[in-house]
Homo-oligomer: A and B are copies of this chain.
Amino acid sequence: MRSEDLAKLLGLSRSTISRVINNYPDIPQTTRDKVWKAIEEYNYAPNASARKLAGVKNKMIALILLDVKDNEEGHHIKVSEHTLIHDNPFFSPIVNAVIDQANKMDHYVLVSISYTKDDLRKVQSIFQQKLIDGAIFVGTQEAENELIFSLIEQNHLIAMIDTSEVNNANHNAIYINADNYEGSVKAVSYLLELGHRSIGIITGNLNKLSAQERLAGYETTLMQHGIEMTDKMIYQGDFTENSGYDGIKYFFRTANPPTAIFVSNDTMVVGAYRAITELGLRIPEDVSIIGFDNSFFSPYLNPPLTTIDISFSEMAKRATTLLIESIEQEQQRGIVEKENATLIKRESCKKWKGS
């Protein structure tokens, strides 16, 4: 069924059909009704390619997930189906939220995953082919900056979630980041409220902005509360499970181990829990643990983990909304926003009754 067919059926021209569909003014209500009725009846929908070719926007955005490991082959489908999502526990809520929000705003979403630098050429071609009206990038690192900046310069509409880029306000793109600093302040403040005065931190990879900000929140909060801070209380991890394990082992080798430990992400907590169990200690009786990210597995840990939710799904929703608004207004703007972090109280932290 083409618009021509429908037109003939109704004794109208294609132009009129098109005008009704695209909501042109100056069409009598009777004609409108007649056309819509026939559209329903014959299950007509305009050919998407033809519309797009004629200049109408696609209502299609791309969600581009970047999981590029430098100097490594692509790992594609992994040995375990859990590996990818485990590597990137945040991808899943983002995918859901973007699709959800886009659907609500009447847009389709094309999802693409890149594992290798080579895959990035395909990303390039998604734009060249004029397949989409805009795109959301997740998981970008240094390596992809060049590609993305060139895309922005070509006036493509782009939103980025959780970029590591710092001074990004100059670029005409949408940047949505977590408020790592605020989250960290909330985590440490909570431990202080519980009465802890000896609080350790296992940091993330300090090359990453998020790790730096989480450390900064820790330091500032302790300082503001007049708690003395020693280097001994800071263990430099790297966001991996193993470094969480090592961090705990380190702390409990020292003379006065902290009574509470802020672990900079939930993945490291998995290792931390393992180490604590090995040491024959109990959480939270012997030591309180607070995580960061509210990863999907954190409620299933034993005990369920108190952590900071940075709501990737909210970030994704916000990025999607702003992107689609830009598309509809046809203007490329530079936007930088931080999404709130919230404390999720579960069972891994306990009041400290002095010592």
Tell me the A293-336 residues at the B interface (CB within 8 Å): 296-297, 299-302, 311-314, 317
User: In the bound complex, do residue A53 and residue B45 qualify as a contact, i.e. CB atoms below 8 Å apart?
Assistant: no
Q: Which residues of B contact A313 (CB under 8 A)?
A: 77, 81
Q: Is B99 touching A92 in the complex (CB atoms < 8 A)?
A: no
B residues near A27, Cβ cutoff 8 Å: none
For this chain, the copies found in one complex come to 2
A99 to B99, CA, bound (A): 14
Interface segment, one of A105-113, A194-202, A347-355 = A105-113
Interface of A is mostly: helix
A130 located at the interface, meaning its Cβ lies under 8 Å from any Cβ of chain B in the complex:
yes
A47–B49 Cα distance when bound, in Å, is: 10
Number of interface residues of A (CB under 8 A): 54
The reply to whether B108 and A113 form a contact with Cβ atoms under 8 Å apart is no
The answer to whether A45 touches B85, judged by C-beta atoms less than 8 angstroms apart, is no
A129 and B47 form a contact (CB under 8 A): yes
Q: 1/0 per position for A38-54, CB-CB distance to B under 8 A?
A: 00000111111110110
Interface string of A73-115 (1 = CB under 8 A from B): 0001100011011000000110111011101100011111100
Contact B85 A100 (CB under 8 A): no
Q: Contacts A47-B53, A129-B47 hold; do A100 and B82 have CB atoms under 8 A apart? A: no
Q: Are B100 and A130 in contact (CB under 8 A)?
A: no
